[in-house]
Amino acid sequence: MKGHANGGSAPAAWLAIAGLVLVVAVPFAAVVLQGIFPNLGQGSFSGPFSSFVATLNDSALIGMAGNTVLLGACVVLASALVAVPLGVFRALYRVPLAPLWDVLLLVPFMIPPYIATLGWIMTLQPRGYLQQVLGFNLAPFLFSLAGMTVVMAFNTFPVVYFAVSRTVEAVGARYADVGRVFGATPAKAFWRITLPLSAPGLAASLMLVFAAAIEEYGTPAALGRRAGFQVLVTGIDFRISDWPIDLPGASIMSLLLVGLSLVTFLGQRWILSRRSYQTVNGKPTAKDKRPLGAMKLPVVLAFAIVSFLATGVPLLSILATALSRTISGGLALDNMSLDNFALVFQNSAGALGALANSFSLGIGTALITGLIGVTAAYTVVKTKIRGRLAIDTLTIIPNALPGIVVAVGLILAWNMPWLPATPYNTPFILLLAYCCILLPQPMRYAAAAFQHIGDNLEAAARVFGASGVTAFRRILLPLVFPSLASAMLLVFALASRELVASVVIAPVGMQTIATFIWRQFEQGSIGLGMAMAFIAILITTLLPLLLLALLRRSGLVAE
Amino acid sequence: MFKSLKSLTLGVVAATLLAGVAHADITVYTAGPQSLIDKMSEGFTKETGIKVNVFQATTGKVMARIEAEASNPVVDVLISASWDTATDFAKRGWLVSYTSPNAAKVPDFLKTDTAVAQGISALGIAWNTKSGTPKPSEWADLTKPEYKDMVNIPDPAQSGSSFELTAALAGQDDFKLFKDLQANGAIIAGANAEALNPVLQGAKAAVFGAVDYITLAAAKKGETVEVVFPASGTVIAPRPAMILNWSKNQDEAKKFIDYMLSDAGQKMVAAQMLMPARTDIPADRPLIGDLKLLKFDNAAVYGKRKETLGEITKIFGGK
């Protein structure tokens, strides 16, 4: 394999390939082999393809696949409707209290979806918090496709919001201003220049939302089952949890999900490949934003309402539950206490250990996926190496693999008796699982950032004698660093709360935040689980903000 | 910046390595409550010096892990929440025959050559006393108009004991009770904890077939719920403990079973509001002798599992 373009690509490419093989290809190959050879778990290759017929003949499968796509599409649409207008206003205009809205819209990332869903249930169900405060409930709405869409969209739309506000800002008013000079109306300049140029970021973020929506387990399981709405992931989970366990069937259904995700991914590539989106070319850009004028009040109101629904409602519900002595006591002053929080800090049931475990795993995952992501994105976008489509595809697969399938794949791959050493049954297996599941985040963000950087910048550095590695380190990396850093912070937050894979694959005796919360729920200690959730959300929100502030001070991240 | 990234990565790697080197003498997979296994392994280690490594999850997740590990298994002792596991594993020839000397006071129907119950849970009606509904005393009471739209049923597909209750009751009147429940607005509401939560908040009045010990523990904490065991009968779920034949630590595993059935171990079971397997250990709750059990043919019921679940799905509507 040799790099044609700007030299120096070989080390990056090899690093990316090695990382991807270890983190993605190994467990994925195990899943594929499990689908083909049903007795792989016993170490036997007998009866190849015998599970395909039984699994694919299941009449419920088409319904589940249809529901999956429908739910994914609804969530994408709802997320875009909420996030794109807000993101555009945030990027182009001086929105009052802008940093506050950014923080408030960041919080939904940090709320684990299953916790947010439970929060919504406890708020909207009959005699829930809404009824206790205002006297009515919205249960029929909640347990429906519409309810599921809204709950999931409020969880995922920040991905789109931050992608849109950042890329539109990067594209800047500059190109639109050129259009204005040549006589375009503001609306025309926006639709014909700013929006199309922001397409990479928008498409990438919508794809992440779609992939997250079809892979999400907690919300469809909690809300969908009551609406009779089965999706592929709940079907896969059923095959894995119901004795006799059907691992081959679950693997085959997962491959179907991977197929769905790849189709979206190819669609996104097709949009991007039609033209160039290079907007960062070394010329100075003015970052002046326009005043909102008469739009000020409605825009602020929109930000406030969305922030309240996405962040306020789930957080208040979590807090109310955590502060309640008993659930049946409801919102009464004499039912409020700090007992549950005290229990967490007294290390009840290993709460503090779980926090420490999750945060160190989160940091490790962020660093590793950041490194693999940035090298893979560089290889795919900036070099002409053969096989870069394969690299790109490898980074997309985990998006569609349900967490539980990644876990099973990792066990199958790393628990072979002939392996001399194995990460299985050590914390490393969790690190591998999180890296696999979350790799797409830094990869997508870094790739979108690289799309915007003109090739001439790297070429100029090379002309002045910089080596390929130096050009990458001194020119390209600083330019993509803001995107990469936010993706890595996102990975940290997502890794420290991952549930589905952790439950199956956690080494014996080790707890993470999510498995701790889940066990409390299982045993009926909802308040203790919610107290832990609240503390975890607080830390995962404040820690990255602190880090960003520090980076800003040191000048590593602009604005 | 790469340099600092590198050193940070190394630091994390080193830290996780150090955390992972602890070795345990036996490995226990359990579908029982985490706090029970925590206390039991602590007491066991204190008495024998043998360390216990624990993996706790639901029966389904524990089984998924054992199935995926099948080529290189690590589990020594398995405690399932469903007796069906013990029957199935014995049929596969995966279990070690062992009768603990402490099992003498365990009734015959709670032990086999290869498995013995740790404790027993039963199903009952979990009812919120503040729900404004009259206290139910029979399964059929929940089909009355007072409970319209106020009843949750745990998913029989997700819980072994719920399935047995469903099959036993459905066998008596050919699913009429379940059709009446559905007509009265009852819904299938996920696994056990998921079905109970809305009853605590008051969104629902009662769970039809709730696992008793979780509800009793909630009541002990001050939640306004009660467990009613219908006089017409209910089902129990003994939780079998077994030693796997691939275990390299079978002597230690046998000691663990002994400890589980000792006075101390059985008192821990009782403290979780489960029924102890030994009849001579007192507990602050109704025991097997106080309950009437539904009669059903276990083999026949499990033989028709798919049909029964299919009928339930049809009644409660997978749209």
User: What secondary structure, in 3-state letters, does A505-548 show?
Assistant: HCCCCCCCHHHHHHHHHHCCCHHHHHHHHHHHHHHHHHHHHHHH
The verdict on B132 and B87 lying in the same domain is no
| Continuous H helices in B261-304 | 263-271, 298-303
Question: Which residue in B34, B190, B319 is closest to A523 by CB distance?
Answer: B34
Beta bridge partners of B95: B244
Whether the per-residue pLDDT at A189 is higher than 80: the answer is no
Encode pLDDT of A69-125 as tens digits: 999 999 999 999 999 999 988 888 888 898 899 889 988 888 888 899 999 999 999
What are the φ/ψ torsions at residue A106 (nearest 5 degrees)? -80, -30
Give the Å distances, CA to CA, from B313 to A77, A226, A238: 31, 12, 14
Q: Quick one: tokens of A25?
A: 């290809």
Same domain, B153 and B298: yes
Mean pLDDT of A392-399: 83
Share of chain A above pLDDT 70, in %: 93
Pairing type for strands B26-30 and B151-153 reads: unpaired
Of A151-160, A176-185, A471-480, B148-157, where does mean pLDDT reach its minimum?
A176-185
Q: What pLDDT score was predicted for residue B144? A: 95
Give the Cα separation of A31 and A254 in Å (integer). Answer: 8
From chain B, the residues in CB contact with A404 under 8 A are 64
**Is residue B133 domain-shared with residue B278, that is, in the same domain?**
no
pLDDT surpasses 50 at A21 = yes
- Residue B19: pLDDT over 50: no
Distance CA B118, CA A548 (A): 52
A414-428, B4-18, B91-105: least confidently modelled range:
B4-18
Residue-level pLDDT at B318: 55
Alpha-carbon distance A516 to nearest alpha carbon in chain B (angstroms): 10
Instruction: Show Cβ contacts of residue A339 under 8 Å, excluding neighbours closer than 6 positions.
Output: A325, A527
Are residues A475 and A458 in contact, defined by beta-carbon separation less than 8 angstroms? Answer: yes
- Read off the pLDDT band of A208 (50, 70, 90): confident
Torsion region of A336: left, alpha or beta (phi above 0 gives left; psi -120 to 50 gives alpha): beta
Are A15 and A83 contained in the same domain? Answer: no
**Residue A43, Ramachandran bin (φ over 0: left; ψ between -120 and 50: alpha; else beta):** left
pLDDT in tens, A361-388: 999 999 999 999 999 998 888 888 888 8
Which tens digit of pLDDT belongs to each residue from B79-106?
998 898 899 899 999 999 999 999 999 9
> If you write DSSP's letter for every residue of A309-352 in order, what string do you get?
IIIIHHHHHHHHHHHBS-TTT-S-GGGB-SHHHHHHHTTGGGHH
Reported pTM: 0.85
Note the pLDDT of residue B20: 41
B298 and B277 in one domain?
no
Flag if B58 and A43 touch (Cβ within 8 Å): no
Q: Are residues B195 and B298 in the same domain?
A: yes
Judging contacts by C-beta atoms under 8 Å, the chain B residues touching residue A327 are: 197, 200-201, 223
| A288 occurs within a structural domain | no
| Cβ-based neighbour number of residue A75 at 10 Å | 28
CB pairs < 8 Å spanning A and B? 186
- The answer, yes or no, to whether ipTM is higher than 0.85 is no
* Average confidence (pLDDT) over A182-197: 79
Q: What is the pLDDT of residue A278?
A: 67
Nearest to A128 among B20, B158, B201 (CB): B201
On chain B, the residues whose CB falls within 8 A of the CB of A228 are: 317-319
Judge contact between A166 and A196, C-beta under 8 A: no
Q: Give yes or no: residues A402 and A526 share one domain.
A: yes
Residue A41 has pLDDT above 90, yes or no: no
d(CA A506, CA A223): 27
Residues spanned by the domain of A26? 1-40+340-559
* Residues A346 and A328 both lie in one domain: no
In the numeric block, which tokens belong to residue B49? 């010096």
pLDDT of residue B32: 86
Q: Rounded CA gap, B201 and B210, in Å?
A: 16
A309 assigned to some structural domain: yes
Residue A39: predicted pLDDT: 78
Percent of chain A with pLDDT over 90: 28
Q: What angle do CA A442, A443, A448 make, to 5 degrees?
A: 100
pLDDT at res. B30: 94
Partners of residue A408 in chain B, C-beta under 8 Å: 64, 68
Q: Which residues face B115 on adjacent strands?
A: B242
User: Comparing A22-31, A266-275, B115-124, which segment has the lowest mean pLDDT?
Assistant: A266-275
**d(Cα A377, Cα A451) in Å, to the nearest integer?**
9
Q: Is residue A321 part of a domain?
A: yes
Residues B136 and B199 in one domain: yes
Query: A197 in a domain, yes or no?
Result: yes
The answer on B195 and B150 residing in a single domain is yes
Residues A401, A309, single domain; the answer is no
Strand partners, B120: B238, B275
Do A57 and A17 share a structural domain? no
Task: Tell which phi-psi region holds residue A107, choosing left (phi > 0), alpha (psi between -120 and 50) or beta.
Answer: alpha
Most confident of A224-228, A262-266, A296-300: A296-300
Residues of B in contact with A126 (CB under 8 A): 202-204
- Say yes or no to pLDDT of B16 above 50: no
Same domain, A113 and A170: yes
Residue A286 lies in a domain: no
Model confidence at A3: pLDDT above 90: no
Confidence of residue A424 (pLDDT cuts 50, 70, 90): confident
- Note whether A155 and A223 are within 8 A (CB): no
How big is chain A, counted in residues?
Answer: 559
Domain-embedded: residue A289: no
Which of the four pLDDT bands, split at 50, 70 and 90, describes residue A323?
very high
> Is the pLDDT confidence value at B23 over 70?
no
Same domain, B165 and B92: no
pLDDT per residue as tens digits for the range B250-300: 999 999 999 999 999 999 999 999 999 999 999 999 998 899 999 888 888
Non-local CB neighbours of A53 within 8 Å, separated by 6+ positions: none
Q: Do A66 and A30 fall within a single domain?
A: no
For chain B, what is the total number of helices (H) and then of strands (E)?
12, 10
Same domain, A99 and A184: yes
Q: Which of A244, A367, A507 sits opposite B5 (nearest CB)?
A: A367
Which pLDDT band holds residue A470 (cuts at 50, 70, 90)?
A: confident
Preceding omega of B33 cis (within 30 degrees of 0)? no
**Measuring CA to CA, which residue among A507, A491, A548 is closest to residue A373?**
A491
Pair B113, B129 in one domain = no
Q: Tell whether the model's pLDDT for residue B17 goes beyond 70.
A: no
Count of CB atoms situated within 10 Å of the CB of A457: 17
The answer to whether the CB atoms of A417 and B71 lie below 8 A apart is yes
Please, which residues have CB within 8 angstroms of residue B148's CB and are 6 or more apart in sequence?
B184, B185
The answer to whether the CB atoms of B69 and A41 lie below 8 A apart is yes
Q: Rounded to whole angstroms, how far apart are CA atoms B251 and B96?
A: 11
d(CA A193, CA A277) in angstroms, rounded, equals 11
CA pair distance A175, A190, nearest whole angstrom: 10
Q: Is pLDDT above 50 for A6?
A: no
Instruction: Output the average pLDDT for chain A.
Output: 84
Most confidently modeled range among A105-119, A169-183, A287-301, B167-181: B167-181
Q: Scanning every residue of chain B, which has its alpha carbon at the shortest distance from the alpha carbon of A430?
A: B16
What percent of chain B clears pLDDT 90, i.e. is strictly above it? Answer: 66
Rounded CA gap, A57 and A50, in Å? 12
CA B28 to CA B76: how far, in whole Å?
A: 6
Per-residue pLDDT band for B18 (boundaries 50, 70, 90) equals very low
Do A137 and A233 share a domain, yes or no?
Answer: yes
One domain for residues B95 and B189: no
Mean pLDDT of chain B: 88
**What is the rounded radius of gyration, in angstroms, for the C-alpha atoms of chain B?**
22
Nearest CA in chain B to A250: B64
Which has more pLDDT, A485 or A299? Answer: A299
pLDDT at B116 over 80: yes
> Is B230 a residue whose pLDDT tops 90?
yes
Q: How far out from the chain centre does Cα B49 lie? A: 28
Q: What is the pLDDT of residue A275?
A: 63
Residue A7 is predicted with a pLDDT of: 47
Q: Which of A407-411, B219-223, B257-261 has the lowest mean pLDDT?
A: A407-411
Structural domain boundaries, residue B62: 2-120+237-287
Nearest to B16 among A364, A404, A415 (CB): A364
What CATH code is carried by the domain that includes residue B143? 3.40.190.10
pLDDT at position A1: 36
A273, A277, A281, A283 alpha-carbon torsion, rounded to 10°:
170
B191 and B268 in a single domain? The answer is no
Q: Is residue A201 part of a domain?
A: yes
SS3 A354: helix
Segments in A346-387 forming alpha helices (H)? 351-382
Of residues A341 and A350, the one with the higher pLDDT is A341
pLDDT number for residue A290: 79
- Is A46 part of a structural domain of the chain? no
Same domain, A206 and A354: no
**Number of C-alpha atoms within 13 angstroms, CB side, residue A464?**
9
Please count the structural domains in chain B: 2
Is the pLDDT at A280 greater than 70? The verdict is no
* CB distance B70 to B120 below 8 Å: no
* DSSP single-letter state for residue B58: -
Beta-carbon contacts of residue A312 (< 8 Å; ≥ 6 apart): none
Indicate the number of domains in chain A.
2
Q: What are phi and psi of B153, to 5 degrees?
A: -120, 125
Q: How many CB atoms lie within 10 A of CB A183?
A: 8
Q: Inform me whether the pLDDT recorded for B6 exceeds 70.
A: no
Please check whether residue B256 is in contact with residue B28, taking contact to mean a CB–CB distance below 8 angstroms: yes
Collect all residues of chain B within an 8 Å Cβ-Cβ radius of residue A411. 65, 68-69
Residue A405 neighbours by CB under 8 Å, 6+ apart: A31, A236, A250, A251, A254
A330 and B201 in contact by Cβ < 8 A? yes
Higher local confidence (pLDDT), A49 or A71: A71
Give the model's pLDDT for residue B259. 97
pLDDT number for residue B9? 52
| Residue A539, token pair as written in the block | 């830390």
CATH of the domain at A137: 1.10.3720.10
The pLDDT assigned to A555 comes to: 59
Contact criterion met (CB below 8 Å) for A415 and B68:
yes
